[in-house]
Structure 1
């Protein structure tokens, strides 16, 4: 599909963020698990990740936006993100602790931070989403989230760099 991310590892090529995260989770055990042990929390982490990666992000990525006029792009992206964040805020109010699912980092947190960065990029009013804001701020205090932030990547356009 000519999209990122792509990971070449162990003799295979993987695309799509969630597939990559789950493969690494299953083949590279670390002290920090991105999928909780508890089945209900694990399902919540997957649900939140899917909402972001399948229900919000694809509808406001560059591939989609290039299909419409410059005048409608901002309005479209803001509408998609706001609608998705409304649903996400509601869910996070029942799943969140310190992070998206309880008090441990999960793959849901890995999905949340870049989506909030996109919301900021498209000038979405984030004030209706206090849980999303709180979680994003907590995550951005961690070095791993700071260095991997979309505004700090080598291919980030100069006007979006941090």
Structure 2
């Protein structure tokens, strides 16, 4: 099993956390997004979208998109579970995951940033304002959900799918100097996650392509 990943890609980070929680071994294949590795002919054959992550199960068997990958891992390796058992609680987790992967991250990814720079002459400062706007909009909803949950991790006493999606987004928020002062529950949960061995293993600074 090969994971095509970039150390600070939040989508790759999600899958690394899920793999670590499930204790699944894999080979790490670095795709340097800054150098344009994702646009190489070889990688386009693996993932025509030219995005990371991609999980190659066997030659010709590849799964892309982090949510699909995490769901596949949950279905094929059900222990430990990443969702609660009750349908309503599962729906709440999925709502939070969707907030991150549909309402925040797509508007804040490298492709959007590059487009804003090349087509709209965006500056570093305006990119940071753009990032803060969309992250804060989503974090308000996440903070509310975590305040209602009141558990150590997003939705329980053990980390699950919500935590898998939240931690990488907060990592990006800190990279772009987005203040988290208004989100004490987000900070609390992320601090708990970052003390967990699986999250430590999956962290960007622990990856082989981390520049140091």
Question: What is the TM-score when the length of structure 1 is the normalising length?
Answer: 0.89
Q: Does 1 or 2 have the higher relative contact order (CA < 8 Å, sep 6+)?
A: 2
1:144 to 1:121, Cα distance in 2 relative to 1, 3 A: same
1:59 to 1:96, Cα distance in 2 relative to 1, 3 A: farther
Q: Which residue of 2 aligns with 1:100?
A: 154
Q: Which range moves more in the overlay, 76-85 or 5-14? A: 5-14
1:122-157 per-residue CA deviation (whole Å, 9 max, x = no partner) reads 00111100000000000010111012123433344x
1:32-85 per-residue CA deviation (whole Å, 9 max, x = no partner) reads 101221111211111111111111111111011111123421111111111111
Q: Which residue of 2 aligns with 1:70?
A: 123
1:46 to 1:4, Cα distance in 2 relative to 1, 3 A: same
**Equivalent runs, 1:148-159 vs 2, <5 Å:** 148-156=202-210, 158=211
Q: Distance in 1 between the 2:155 and 2:209 partners?
A: 30
Which structure: larger Rg?
2
Question: What is the TM-score when the length of structure 2 is the normalising length?
Answer: 0.69
Secondary structure at the residue paired with 1:51? helix
Q: Distance in 2 between the 1:19 and 1:115 partners?
A: 17
Matched, 1:16 2:65: yes
Q: Structure 2 stretches of 5 or more lacking a match?
A: 1-48, 117-121
Query: What root-mean-square deviation, in Å, do the aligned CA atoms of Structure 1 and Structure 2 show?
Result: 1.6
1:23 to 1:150, Cα distance in 2 relative to 1, 3 A: same
Contact 1:99–1:105 under 8 Å retained in 2: yes
